[in-house]
Amino acid sequence: MAWNEPGGGKDPWGNGGNNGGNRGNNGGGNNQGPPDLDEALKQLMDKLNKMFGGKGGGNGKDNKSSNQGAGGIIAVLAIVGVLFLGFQSVYTLDEKERGVILLLGKYDRTEGPGLHFKWPLAESLTRIETTTVRKENIEERMLTEDNNIIEIELNVQYRVADPVSFALRIENPRLTLQHAAQSALRHDVGSTAMDPLLTSGRETTAEQVKLRLQSYLDRYQTGIQLTNVNVKDVRPPSQVKASFDDVQAARQDKDRLISEAESYANGIVPQARGQAQRQLEEANAYKEQVVAKATGEADRFSALYTEYKKAPKVTRERLYIDAISDVYTNSNKVLVDVEGGNNMMYLPLDQIMKNMPQSNTSGSTNVDVSAITDQVLNEIRSRQNDRRKETR
């Protein structure tokens, strides 16, 4: 049965079945309306006063009830304040965090990971992540050394090495890093031509920017340690990209032609050197051959001269025969000298047939016999005429 029903039990505010109080209807406990909130709050204050050494209220005078209510509120506020200060004075730091403690606005100490205590209101905590690698992307349009405009994108990775400097010495570490990176990048890009930046000079530029940027950050006492600097992209402005692509294509054709010329030179020069060396070797061999042959002829002449002094007639005849043999070896006609008879001419018919014109009939080669006969007769008549002229 509910407490506010007729005949119900004691209500949770300690009034039994009677709503009591200063309501308009002071009738008995059979009133089924909701409880009076003022009366309930007054009873709660009385209980708190009893807990803290005060005296209970009841239906006393108004000023006494008011003092008791104010004391209860102060007590509640005191408990809440104590709990709040307790929570504010104890804190925990993770492994990746460091805590910078300020005492009345002045640096006092740096705390490591774990559970720590600080004086509430007097000390303030700033949490700094020192092991986390942070990233910043910087994209700028800059002027190169050869007065060309490029768009360059830089990626900077860093971590906090000194949490005190990072938290206290600079107001906005991220903005300071961006400005310092832009300055370092502008310095190196402005002293480099466009072609190296677009091709093979990106790594060198990134290393130079990293060294210069770290020197700037150390000079500013930012507490930032760079881990990596990378040039992600270098490109010409979109307005001139078509013309730039044409220039790049022409440069690639130039490099290709140079490579082909160098390849051809690397192939032809050794070949020419080999031919020159071969000709030198052949010349040296010919020289040695001629010298050896001349030396042999001289030795042969000396030997013949020695034999000639011993038998001049035999030697002359032998030399004559050798000379005639050499002459007739290269001739197509052979003379047979018969002692006591006429000279007989030998006609080489095989050579005559080779010199005759050939005619193809039905796919075969036939020799014109009449032409050969006419040529032989003409040769005989010519030789007979030569003899007659010699006898005259």
Domain boundary assignment for the chain: 133-235
The superfamily CATH assigns to domain 133-235 is Band 7 domain (3.30.479.30)
pLDDT tens for residues 245-301? 787 788 888 989 999 999 888 888 888 888 999 999 999 999 999 999 999 988 888
pLDDT band with cut points at 50, 70 and 90 for residue 202: confident
pLDDT tens for residues 207-241? 999 999 999 999 998 899 999 999 888 888 877 77
Dihedral sign, Cα of residue 202, residue 208, residue 210, residue 212: negative
Cα angle value 244/250/256 (rounded, 5°) = 135
Q: What is the pLDDT of residue 181?
A: 92
Counting residues of the chain whose pLDDT is more than 70, the rounded percentage is 66
* CA-based nearest residue to 122, from 103, 101, 99, 100: 103
